Amino acid sequence: MAERITVVVPVFNEAAGLPLFVQRLTPVMDGLGVDWSVLFVNDGSSDGTLERLKRLNEDDPRFTAISLSRNFGKETAIAAGLHYADADAVILMDGDTQHPPEMIPAFVERWREGYEVVLGSREGMAEEGALRRFYSRGFHALFRLIAATRLPRGAVDFLLLDRRAVDAMNRLGERSRFSKGLYAWIGYRQTTVPFAVGGRAAGKSSFNFRRLLGFAVDGIASFSTVPLKVWSYLGLVVSAFAMVYAVVFLIRTLVSGTDQPGFPSLIVSIMFFSGVQLISLGVLGEYVARIYEEVKRRPLFLIGEEIGVSEPKQGRRAGDMPS
């Protein structure tokens, strides 16, 4: 029986670039000698992406799609694609050609060698500026410092997952998802394949600095409680400093008499410690907000339309996650 491979491609306003992506992907998949299909996950696009996906399915039934009821974000779109994919192996990649389809045979080769998670590791990025590279390196360095899970260097959402790894990912029920961390957390036999990131086929990335910062916060809060511990330690240090200062002030008063406190130093101290309290409350609030999102138990995603696919075989409604 031929191996079955599904390529899961989250898309958001990628109508202009889809023809080139399909043109490059099709001969690569045909050359693998497997039973293959492509599952696009339309994440609430507003530029005609859905209509183009429908035409693709009419021309070639191997190109299927699901359309989410609104824009849920890339992490949720990835979860939806894994939820629907039922092949022996699943390849995750972007549809803007920055993840070159020509690298897929290398992924499949490592899978056939027995690896269950084959991660693409980028060697460069054609459109990445110095500031974004600095930000990315800083985040990975911080993540390695405070999180128990280790992220492979240069890992992106271009990878192959064996059926066992896909099933493991589908069992993870958290709503605030950081997929790069989850790929590492599930374990199994893993390896990396380096690749050079290409330019976008059309349009520009929707990931601005604000979204990247939110993505970093999601990753750190999902895999580490160190930020909470930091403020506990800082509270101990501040309390110790206050006790020492109180003793010094008492001795000065006993020796030299009553001392007139300086108004500027008083204001600075109040503002500093108020800032510390507000920051600590913000960090605590971030974790509490995540607890609130989890306990509501809303579906992770909702499907607006299915194109050439049926309900997933896991026996759950689309979007339901394990308890």
Q: Are 137 and 62 in contact (CB under 8 A)?
A: no
Q: DSSP letter for 260, please.
A: P
- Mean pLDDT value across residues 149-168: 80
pLDDT of 260 > 60? The answer is no
Burial class (CB in 10 A: 0-12, 13-18, 19+), 67: buried
- Structural domain of 260: 226-296
Greater confidence (114 vs 229) lies with: 114
Q: Write down the pLDDT at residue 316.
A: 44
Q: Residue written as tokens 């359309």?
A: 67
Query: What is the model's pLDDT at position 22?
Result: 87
Mean pLDDT along residues 57-73: 87
208-246 pLDDT tens trace: 566 666 656 666 666 666 666 676 677 667 667 766 766
Indicate if 192 and 230 belong to the same structural domain.
no
Same-domain pairing of 199 and 256: no
Tell whether 215 and 270 lie within a shared domain: no
Same domain membership, residue 241 and residue 214: no
Instruction: Verify that 183 and 266 share a domain, yes or no.
Output: no
Amino acid at the residue 40: F
Residue 119 pLDDT exceeds 80:
yes
Mean pLDDT of the chain: 76
Q: Which pLDDT band, with edges at 50, 70 and 90, does 48 fall under? A: confident
Higher per-residue pLDDT: 90 or 128: 90
Any idea which of 157-171, 187-201, 267-281, 301-315 has the lowest mean pLDDT? 267-281
**Res 7: pLDDT:** 92
The pTM is what? 0.69
Select the more confidently predicted residue: 50 or 151.
50
Reported as a pLDDT band with limits 50, 70 and 90, residue 272 is low
**pLDDT band at residue 288, thresholds of 50, 70 and 90?**
confident
pLDDT the model gives residue 203: 55
Answer whether residue 319 is part of any domain: no
Q: Is 282 part of any domain?
A: yes
Shared domain for 10 and 21, answered yes or no, is: yes
The yes-or-no verdict on residue 39 having pLDDT over 90 is: yes
Question: Residue 178: which CATH number?
Answer: 3.90.550.10
- Give the least confident one: 63-67, 106-110, 182-186, 262-266: 262-266
Residue 320 maps to a domain: no
- Per-residue model confidence (pLDDT) at position 124: 59
Task: Considering only residues 295 and 90, tell me which one the structure prediction assigns the higher pLDDT.
Answer: 90
One domain, residues 123 and 201:
yes
Q: What is the model's pLDDT at position 298? A: 73
User: Does 84 share its domain with 156?
Assistant: yes
Q: How many domains does the chain have?
A: 2
Q: Are 184 and 236 part of one and the same domain?
A: no
Do residues 8 and 135 both lie within one domain? yes
In a domain, 312, yes or no: no
* Lowest-pLDDT range of 124-133, 179-188, 265-274, 279-288: 124-133
Is 207 within a domain? yes
The b-or-e profile of 302-318 (16+ CB within 10 A means b, else e) is ebeeebbbeebeeeeeb
The sheet that has 4-11: what strands, in order across it?
190-197, 117-125, 155-162, 89-92, 4-11, 35-42, 63-68, 303-307
Any domain includes 157: yes
Provide the pLDDT for residue 317. 47
% of the chain at pLDDT higher than 70: 61
> Among residues 8, 302, 315, 291, which one has the least CA distance to residue 174?
291
pLDDT at 40: 92
State whether 216 and 252 are in the same domain. no
| Structure confidence at residue 128 (pLDDT) | 57
Residue 99 in domain? yes
Please indicate, yes or no, whether residues 210 and 273 belong to a single structural domain of this protein. no
Query: Is residue 27 in some structural domain?
Result: yes
Residues 33-41 have a mean pLDDT of 89
Strand-pair partners of 10: 41
**Residue 315 has what pLDDT?**
43
